[in-house]
A = this chain, B = another copy of it.
Amino acid sequence: MRSSQTETAVLGGLSVEPMTGYALREAIREVLGHFWSESFGQIYPSLAELERKGHVRRLGSARTGASTFAITPAGMTRLKELLAQPLQQVPPRNGLMLRLFFGRHLGPEACRSLVRQARAEAESRLSQYEAIYQDVMNEDDRTGDRPYWLLTISAGQHAARAAVAWADEALAALDQLDQPAPAASESRRKI
């Protein structure tokens, strides 16, 4: 059985509007991209199985090949069921933290470089969220989904702002490592 997580994403996507498998993947990349991803290798088999189970149906096989999928009432029921399932948490694997944890073997400068990179990525995410926020506010249909979508954008923003704040603190701490703490008195040494 294909992962229920992919099933959720596919059914969820089609609950917004009917699409082809290709468009579904684009939509997931562009809209859910900051917290979800799916590849063709997942989407197509998943769509095939969902069709077999009657949770989606194929519309307009007009030109051979391309076909648009729509969610069925049974699919909506299934989606609600899937959304209500308890979230299985994935074992964490944060490459940046792994490197910093053993940062002693890397040295302060290499660590600073890693942290700077992380900071830049967080800043970039912040501006992306700003753009997505505007997009969501400008879509006048789909107002029923809007508050929920804003929730996820807000989560991204909080996380990114935290990353930036942490990075600044970390950079300061790493600087301290190069110039070890001066003694309490006689804090400034003449050359």
- On A, residues with C-beta under 8 Å from B are 5, 8-9, 12, 15, 32, 34-37, 76, 79-80, 83-84, 87-106, 110-111, 114, 144-145, 147-152, 154-155, 158-159, 161-163, 165-166, 169-170, 173-174, 176-177
Contacts and interface: CB of A to CB of B under 8 A. Distances in A.
A113 B37 CA distance: 25
Given A79-B102, A147-B173, A159-B166, 4 more contacts: A12-B101, A36-B92, A37-B92, A147-B177
Contact of A90 (B87, B93, B154, B170): B93
A102 B14 CA distance: 11
A101 B153 CA distance: 9
6 contacts: A5-B95, A5-B98, A100-B151, A100-B155, A101-B152, A104-B145
A104 B15 CA distance: 10
A159 B122 CA distance: 12
Contact of A91 (B12, B37, B173): B37
A90 B95 CA distance: 9
Contacts of A102: 8, 12, 15, 79, 83, 148
A96 B105 contact: no
B99 A87 contact: yes
A98 B89 CA distance: 13
A2 B110 CA distance: 25
A41 to B, nearest CB: 12
